[in-house]
Amino acid sequence: MKKDGYVVAVCGATGAVGRVMLEVLAERDFPAAEVIPFASSRSAGSTVEYKGRELTVRELKEDSFAGIDLALFSAGGSTSEKFAPLAAKAGCVVVDNSSAWRMDPGCPLVVPEVNPHDLAWHKGIIANPNCSTIQMVVALKPIHDAAGIRRIVVSTYQAVSGTGQKAIEELANQVQLMFNGRVEEIEPKVYPHRIAFNCLPQIDVFLDNDYTKEEMKMVNETKKIMGDESIRVTATAVRVPVFFGHSEAVNIETAKKLTARDCRALLSQAPGVRVLDNPSERIYPMPIEAQGQDATFVGRIREDETIDNGLNLWVVSDNIRKGAALNAVQIAEKLIEMNLLRVA
Ligand code: A2P
C-alpha cells in the first residue's frame, strides 16, 4: 500500500449501486488515498458526494486507469466487457458488479463470507455475484458445511432498485399516477408491464429452457461460489413493487438431518447473518427493516414436513448493499487482508 492508501476508481458512480459504493467506502473508512468517480459522457462534470465532499465525475475512457490500484465497476455489462480488461491490463484490480465476467472460468466469483480463498487465483478481474445469489449463499453456506445441501428451490421477491435508478423512478412515477387517478397514462418503459401494485414473474430475458436469465444466474452462480457442482438449484425470480431489499423463500433438502432449532443456532453464529425468527412475536425479516443494513436476515426457519431432511427459510437483504456495493467493498478489503492488492 502507498503511504496514504490506494487510488480507487468507482465506475458507474452516478448509478444506484455506484452511489452506495461511495457511501460504503466512506463509512468503512476504506484506506483510499483518492477516490475517482467515473460514468458516461452524459454525466461527466456533474458531482457525487464522498465523505462530505463533492467529487467531479469523469468520463470513463480507455486510458482512464493509469495510476489506479482498484476499480469498482457497476456500469452495466457492456461497459464492464469493454473496460474491465483494459483496467486489468493497466495493472489495476477490478471488482465487477455486472454479469459480464461471473461465469468466466478465469475470474473468481466471490462472497467474502463464503469463498474468500478463491481470491487467491484472481488475474485482475474479480466478479461480484448477482444480488439474489449473494444473500442466498450467505445464509446457506453454514448449512451446506454442516449438513450438505442436495437441492435448493428458491422463489425471489426482488426490489426495483436492482434494475437501477430508472426503475426506482418508474415505480415512484407509476404509484403517483395511480393515486392521482391517471392510471391510463402509465407507460411501462423499464419493465414489460406495470410494476406498481403488481408482481412480474420475469426478471431479465427468457432463455431457451423457459427460465429467465436471472433464474439461471442463481443456479449457475450458486454452484460456482459454493464450489460444488452437485447442488441442484431451481429458481423462480419475481419483481415486486418494493424499492429496496430482496426477499427469498428458500426450500432446501440436506444430506444430514438438521432440525429447525439446530439451524437457528447455526445461523445465529454465521458471519454476515442475523436471525430474526420469533413467530409468536411476529418477528421475521422484512425489506423495510433490511434497507440500509449490512446483514443478511434469516427467519421463518421451519422443517419441511413433506421430506425427511428439509428446511424452509425466509432470507432478506438490502440488494444494493450486501447484494452489490457492500460485497464489492468487502472483496476489496479481503484482497488487502490477503495481501493481493498491489499498487499500480
Ligand atoms: P451515467 O449516469 O452517465 O449514465 P444504474 O444502474 O443506476 O442505471 O447506473 C448505471 C451507471 O453506469 C451510471 O453511473 C451510468 O452513468 C454508468 N454508465 C452507463 N453506461 C456507461 C458507459 N458507457 N461508460 C461509463 N459509465 C456508464
| pLDDT tens, residue by residue, 199-223 | 999 999 999 999 999 999 999 999 9
Say yes or no to pLDDT of 97 above 90: yes
Considering the entire predicted model, what is its pTM? 0.97
To test ligand 1's pocket by mutation, which of 40, 80, 189 has the most ligand atoms within 8 angstroms of CB? 40
Query: Given this model, what pLDDT does residue 3 score?
Result: 57
The candidate with the shortest Cα–Cα distance to 95, out of 111, 114, 117, is 111
pLDDT in tens, 61-75: 999 999 999 999 999
Question: Measuring from atom 18 of ligand 1, which residue has the nearest CA?
Answer: 75
Neighbours of 138 (CB within 10 A): 26
**d(CA 205, ligand 1 centre) in Å:** 20
Query: Given this model, what pLDDT does residue 90 score?
Result: 96
Question: Measuring from atom 12 of ligand 1, which residue has the nearest CA?
Answer: 75
Task: Cell 407509476: give the residue.
Answer: 174
Q: Which three cell numbers stand for residue 1?
A: 500500500
Which residue among the candidates 122, 131, 144, 263 is catalytic per the annotation?
131
Query: Given this model, what pLDDT does residue 342 score?
Result: 74
Question: Measuring from atom 24 of ligand 1, which residue has the nearest CA?
Answer: 40
Q: Is 246 one of the catalytic residues?
A: yes
Q: Who's near 259: CB < 8 A, 6+ residues apart?
A: 303
Average pLDDT over the chain, rounded to whole?
Answer: 97
Per-residue exposure over 267-296, b if at least 16 CB sit within 10 Å of its own CB, e if not: beebebbbbbbeeeeeebbbbeebbebbbb
Say yes or no to pLDDT of 344 above 70: no
Q: Who's near 76: CB < 8 A, 6+ residues apart?
A: 12, 98
Bridge partners of residue 226, in order along the sequence: none
Q: Which three cell numbers stand for residue 127?
A: 466478479
What percent of the chain has pLDDT above 90?
Answer: 98
> Stretch 39-45: mean pLDDT, rounded?
98
